[in-house]
Homo-oligomer: A and B are copies of this chain.
Amino acid sequence: MPQPGRRQLLAAPALLLATAPALAQSPAPSPGTPPTAQAPGWFRFQLGSFTVTTISDGHARRNIEGLVLNAPAETVREVLAESFLPTDHYIGPYNVTFVDTGRQLIAFDAGTGGQLTPSAGRLPAHMAAAGLDPARVGLVIVTHCHQDHIHGLTNAAGAANFPNAEIAIAEQEFAWWSDATNETRSPQGQRVNFANVARRFAPYQGRIRRFAPGAEVAPGITSVPAFGHSPGHTVFRVSDGNAQMLVLADLTHRPELFARRPDYISLFDFDGAAAAATRRRILDMAATDRIRVTGYHFPFPATGHLARDGEGYRFHRAEWG
């Protein structure tokens, strides 16, 4: 295709530059409406020889009133606004971290199973987009037994969503929710967990492994007790060679709120004082050692780093690519 030389082009700017607003070459209006769908919520990175994929299961929309037990809603709104988040409602994202160690595909928690809120339940579609087959998951590590983390163990009919998976869970966490005598000693809003644990773990009978705090759960994956948010809430250190990462689970809910203000106690915390102390301790470790993290309620892609900033910590989302 012949192309004008540079001199020829530069010599005739008036001919090149149309001044009329309408152009014969303008395309006809596009047929139909523009696409409005969002890109599928999955994100992948390497951790040593491990392949990590974070998958968005969607989010829940909540009232700001009542979310933080020890701060007025107006102050909470100010903290959210600092990170340009909505101030008329609270978006709580759900993200599942998958680690493929080469030996095994491991999931940290199970998502909502599409049985909690209409704005969540996208895990299966996003796993498919990421090339992850639920039947390939060999281990689901349950960080704690709140509904949004274990509903996805089964479908609504009670069948296992991860048909070939073993479950690993801290013995304190499983023991608490498996003993009905603890029901009256649990916050009102968390009593639903007793029946739900029974229901969601049922199809995994004989494949539930309890571990002690600090135990290595799988090669390269070590538990770190982080009790408070729930009786046996656990975070995990994932490491391969020199590479390491902390799976923070619910150490904080959205970091823009609960890492910025680690002493905030949320509606979801089982033992608020213990949760806040644990939060301070592990956030401090993550920031001091500059360890990569993932968080279940962190903004997608739910991975990055935490740095000290002011009275709390700031989450720096990881680079895409």
Contact = CB atoms under 8 A, between A and B. Distances in A.
Contacts of A205: 4, 9, 15-16
Contacts of A34: 51, 100, 102, 105
A85 B316 CA distance: 10
B39 A39 contact: yes
B135 A10 contact: no
B10 A41 contact: no
A42 B59 CA distance: 20
Given A29-B103, A136-B30, A41 B320 contact: yes
A85 B39 contact: no
A234 interface: no
Interface string A112-154: 0000000000000000011110011010000000000000000
Contacts of A64: none
A313 interface: no
Interface string A14-25: 011111000101
A130 B37 CA distance: 8
A84 B316 contact: yes
A56 B9 contact: no
A35 B130 contact: yes
Given A16-B208, A19-B209, A130-B39, A30 B299 contact: no
B159 A1 contact: yes
B38 A39 contact: no
16 contacts: A4-B202, A6-B198, A17-B210, A18-B207, A26-B138, A27-B136, A34-B105, A36-B46, A38-B321, A39-B39, A39-B42, A39-B129, A41-B320, A59-B321, A84-B290, A84-B316
Interface of A: 1, 3-6, 9-10, 13, 15-19, 23, 25-27, 29-30, 34-44, 46, 51, 56, 58-59, 82-85, 91, 93, 100, 102-103, 105, 129-132, 135-136, 138, 157-159, 164, 166, 174, 178-180, 194-195, 198-199, 201-203, 205-210, 290, 299-301, 304-305, 307, 316-321
A18 B136 contact: no
A26 B166 contact: yes
Contacts of A3: 158, 199, 202-203
Contacts of A46: 36
B39 A40 contact: yes
Given A3-B202, A6-B198, A51 B26 contact: no
Nearest to A25: B207
A115 B318 CA distance: 27
Contacts of A42: 39
A98 B170 CA distance: 48
A39 B30 contact: no
Contacts of A174: 17
